[in-house]
Chains A and B, each alone.
Chain A
Amino acid sequence: MGAVPAQLFPEFLANAVGVEGLLAEIVSSLIGATVVASIILAFSGVAGPWAKRKITAAFTDRIAVDRIGPFGLLIIPAASVQLLAKELIIPEGVDRPTWDIAPIILPASALLGFSVIPMGQIGPLNIHLADPEVGLALVFAFASIASVSLVMAGYASSNKYSLLGGLRAVAQNLAYEIPLIVTAMSVVIFAGTLQISGVVGAQTETLVTIAGFDIPSWYAFVNPFAFVLFLTANMAEIGRNPFDIPEAPTEIVGGYQTEYSSAYFVLFYLGEFVHIFLGGAILSVVFLGGASGPGPESISFIWFVVKVWGFFLFTQWARAAIPRVRIDQLIEIGWKGMLVLSFANLVLTAVIVGVIA
């Protein structure tokens, strides 16, 4: 962030056109939201049918899609058509409309989270929809709505595997939400604000200068312990290996998503990818200096893309390499390990910040 904080995206739009008033605010907000959602959905579109396959293939000595289009890229439209063209099978005895709403909630809640995420600048354009004072709390709230969707899907599917998946989702989220947020709190103590622009802004100062390079005071460098804790809890929050327990295809055959097909399945899948990107976005905002990076401010969107995709790559790496823990072991790690460590981190941070300040 420079000396003059860049305008938020909707304001920029309104100013550019030169209109004012409530209606203009609503319209420009809607346009802004559409742009942001499109970016994220485009990420997911590339990630789901193509990037994920290519990345997994690279980890497992395979080639993956390469028949249609350059590097197999045309698999993206092909897969979209194929998935949507499939028959939507509605099993007997499902609890409607809960069963229909669940696949909408997951991607919707994850997309909502992006409303407060600063995604950097493209030229003069600052892709940041809103910056409320409680931004950080809000983004966690949005992210955790996802588990409601999983429980709804698991319960409404009228399938025992789905039910087990739903139960696991609740247990997992309870075990990991608290350490996640408590660890984020330690960052809030450093930054002194819940406002996301404040948290990001606090990370722009130079921590140390090594051989002419300015190392920014990203909280990942300031408090690497908290970073590791947060990263672990984040993996559980988005339900990826080693914590993909609510799905666990080799145990409970996909868990909550067992009974979903066609468009509903796509929604779930999409939601999961958006959720991974949201996880990456939160991680970069809280610990990796948001969208900041070397180079001028006007290209910082690139740094945002690099960071969230880096996180995506990390989840795929974990998926290829790390075994899945058992549900009772996960609960144990969450309540007996992470919770204690995260509170210890919080207290230590508070003491250190108190002494220094």
Chain B
Amino acid sequence: MSLERQDPVDDGALERTPDELEALLGDLVVDRDDHLNAPGFVIRPDTVQETLSTLKQEAGYDHLSVVSAQEYENRYESIYHLKKYDDPTQEVSIVVPADKDNPVSESAEPVFRTADWHEREAYDLIGIEYDDHPDLRRILLPETWQGHPLSMDYDKDRPQIATLPEHANPLEEHHKDAESDTMFLNIGPHHPATHGVLHLKTVLDGEQVVDVEPDIGYLHRSEEQMAQSGTYRHQIMPYPDRWDYISAGLLNEWAYARAAEDLADIEVPEYAQVIRTMGAEMCRIAAHMLALATFALDINGDFTATFMYAINDRERVQDLLEDLTGQRLMFNYFRLGGVVWDLPEPREEFFSKTRDFLDQLPESVEEYHNLITSNEIFQMRTIDTGVLPPDVAKNYGATGPVARGSGVDYDLRRDDPYGYYDELDWDVVTEEGCDNFSRLLVRMREVEESAKIIEQCIDLLEDWPEDERNIQANVPRTLRPDDDTEIYRAVEGAKGELGIYIRADGTDKPARFKIRSPCFSNLQTLPEMANGEYIPDVVAALGSLDIVLGEVDR
């Protein structure tokens, strides 16, 4: 069966009980602070590297999903959510309290490269300082920002005045010293190939890239804080649509739904799960079509026909999604415990429209293969450029098509099943090339797999008895999860592992709402792919990462 793992289970995937893990860590563990999803071990702030490397080397926890930080009345806290690429259901949380007056904690960057940006974000928004961090600067907010917005003593009424001299102006200095022949080039924040407002600080030697540093935060909209000021039941669900807004809305909504449903112990009816699965896969097709379209734009140049063809196909999925949800972009279709309404009437029309789309899809995919993947020039441009070896991908916490394009067999739909995925017949797509071409191929093949899933869902929905079409579970009007329960849950979004960490404090609003954005981690790998390559390869690598700045910056 396709859902079973093909590779043999090695020692790294060996499951250990929480007590065994505690024994492994020995004296490092100060206390236990279990979360709903994983055992949690409290450690001292100066033993972060030792603890994480023990878990990574000896217990096989090789995936640092996210670092979520928060401030309590009496302390600061960073939580390292660890998983295994081989089996993401094996999770462990490392809780690192830091002193209230002097919040300093050891950086995990030497153990997991991905901690670099995650800790910078924690420093930026919460105010925890990380010792031994290579580059502890603000990441989302401007350098001149005063205070840390998610900390308790933050005065939001205080005007933020960024005086001119404080702005770093990269144009001001003459970016060429006597010794070097390099040229500093700002790519973005307004550039046709940055797919949004992204700024790449690039150092060039001729046409070759010596160094590239992504500068993000231009689209930061305080999504986490907005979610923290909304009630669980209804007020948070509209926000996820606005993270990855490239039609991946339902996939994002599912991330919140899954975390909140597990937190509040809500059971979702099977019928609703099938609808969710179908809708989510439609979103995935739409998102991958846009990724394909813009990638063709990056490689072929503007006026390429492939772009419009892919947009056309995306349009057809959007029509289906519009029929289903009543919206084209900001769906707001999921509810805790189910979906907001049943399939559109007449159902037969919806089914036949969907089937028409699925029937035509293989032809479209074939056309894309003819137009781009089988084109020699296209292959010349994409094969063996933007190379991301699997171990580097893992070190940076890359997930989704980026990881699968590097041969990392990791897909939460199969490895940490939710919804109706484990009942259906489909395959996880991986490619071994590790280059721009592989990442594109993964997306193109995933579209076909998604089509398979939708088809099976349609079959199921068609035959579903009319009196068993339960679209929503009974959920109380107001949800108040127990005080001090914490959970981290992730789903396979269009770009990779989209996770939500929620801490409940007994009220109807989350005390901490942390979004683990796949694009945020994936974008971190860009310098690894781009350094030493040509400018066009940077553009191609960025296109193949398929980032959405709305999700990177949140």
Residues of A within 8 A of B (CB): 56, 59-62, 160-161, 164, 167-168, 241-242, 244, 248-253, 319-329
Structural contact, B539 and A251, CB atoms closer than 8 A: yes
Bound CA–CA A329/B385 (angstroms): 13
One of B62-70, B122-130, B230-238, B297-305 contacting the partner? B297-305
- Complex Cα distance, B375 from A62, in Å, reads 23
Taking the complex as formed, is B183 at the interface, i.e. its CB lies under 8 A from any CB of chain A? yes
Across the interface, which residues of A come within 8 angstroms of B347, CB to CB?
A: none
- Interface of B (DSSP majority class): helix
**Residues A56 and B207 in contact, CB atoms below 8 Å apart:** no
Return the CB mask of B336-380 against A: 1 if under 8 Å, else 0. 000000000000000000000000000000000001100101101
The reply to whether A326 and B305 form a contact with Cβ atoms under 8 Å apart is no
Q: Is the CB of A241 within 8 A of B300?
A: yes
Is B478 part of the binding interface, using a Cβ–Cβ cutoff of 8 Å? no
Note all chain B residues with C-beta closer than 8 A to A321. Answer: 304-305, 371
Given contact pairs A244-B301, A324-B299, A324-B300, enumerate 9 new A-B contacts (beta carbons under 8 Å). Answer: A241-B301, A250-B302, A251-B539, A253-B192, A320-B304, A322-B300, A322-B377, A325-B380, A328-B207
Note all chain A residues with C-beta closer than 8 A to B312: 61
Q: Which residues of B contact A62 (CB under 8 A)?
A: 308
| Contact A320/B303 with A250-B298, A251-B536, A253-B191 known, Cβ cut-off 8 Å | yes
Which 10 residue pairs across A and B have the least CB separation, nearest first? A60-B308, A320-B305, A323-B378, A323-B300, A323-B377, A60-B305, A250-B193, A323-B299, A326-B536, A59-B305
Can you give 27 contacting A-B residue pairs, CB < 8 Å? A56-B303, A60-B303, A60-B305, A61-B309, A160-B185, A161-B185, A249-B192, A250-B297, A250-B298, A250-B539, A251-B193, A251-B535, A251-B536, A253-B192, A320-B304, A322-B375, A323-B299, A323-B301, A323-B372, A323-B377, A323-B381, A324-B301, A324-B377, A325-B381, A326-B536, A327-B207, A329-B380
With a cutoff of 8 Å between Cβ atoms, the chain A residues found around residue B371 in the complex are: 321
B380 touches A164 (CB 8 A): no
Q: Is A252 a contact of B301 with CB atoms below 8 Å?
A: no
- CB pair B301–A326 under 8 Å, yes or no, is no
Residues of A within 8 A of B191 (CB): 253
The reply to whether the CB of B243 lies closer than 8 angstroms to some CB of chain A is no
Q: Within 8 Å CB of B183, what residues of A?
A: 160
CB distance from A91 to the nearest CB of B (A): 12
Task: Determine the chain A residues whose CB is within 8 A of the CB of B486 once the complex forms.
Answer: none
What residues on B are CB-neighbors of A326 within 8 Å? 380-381, 534, 536-537
Chain B: which residue is nearest A329 at the CB level? B380
A164–B381 Cα gap in the complex (Å)? 19
Question: Quick one: closest A residue to B537, CB to CB?
Answer: A326
B307 at interface, CB cutoff 8 A:
yes
Q: Which residue of B lies closest to A245 (CB)?
A: B536
Contacting residues, chain B, for A164 (C-beta < 8 A): 207, 535
Let me know if B381 and A319 touch, CB within 8 A. Answer: no
Minimum distance in angstroms from B125 CB to a CB of chain A: 33
| A109 to B39 Cα, complex, angstroms | 75
* Residues of A close to B297: CB separation below 8 A: 250
With A253-B191, A322-B375, A323-B381: A248-B301 Cβ-Cβ less than 8 Å: yes
Q: What chain A residues lie within 8 Å of B300 (beta carbons)? A: 241, 322-324
Is the CB–CB distance between B307 and A60 below 8 Å?
yes
Q: How far is the CA of A251 from the CA of B187 in the complex (A)?
A: 9
Chain A residues within 8 Å of B192, by CB: 249-250, 253
Cα A83 to Cα B375 with chains together (Å): 37
Q: Is the CB of B534 within 8 A of A328?
A: yes
Assembled-state Cα–Cα distance A157/B484 (Å): 61
Shortest Cβ distance from residue B185 to the other chain A in the assembled complex, whole angstroms: 5
Identity of the chain B residue whose Cβ is nearest the Cβ of A163 in the assembled complex: B183
Give A205 Cβ to nearest chain B Cβ, in Å: 38
A160 to B301, CA, bound (A): 20
Interface positions, chain B 254-306, Cβ under 8 Å from A, are 297-305
Chain A residue at minimal CB-CB distance from B304: A320
Whether the Cβ atoms of B303 and A319 lie closer than 8 Å is: yes
Bound Cα distance from A327 to B539, whole angstroms = 13
- CB B261 to nearest CB in A, in angstroms, measures 42
Most buried by B among A167, A252, A322, A323: A323
How many whole Å from A169's CB to the nearest CB in chain B? 13
Bound complex: CA A253 to CA B297 (Å): 13
CB-defined contacts of B301 to chain A, threshold 8 Å: 241, 244, 248-250, 319, 323-324
Residue of B whose beta carbon sits closest to that of A62: B308
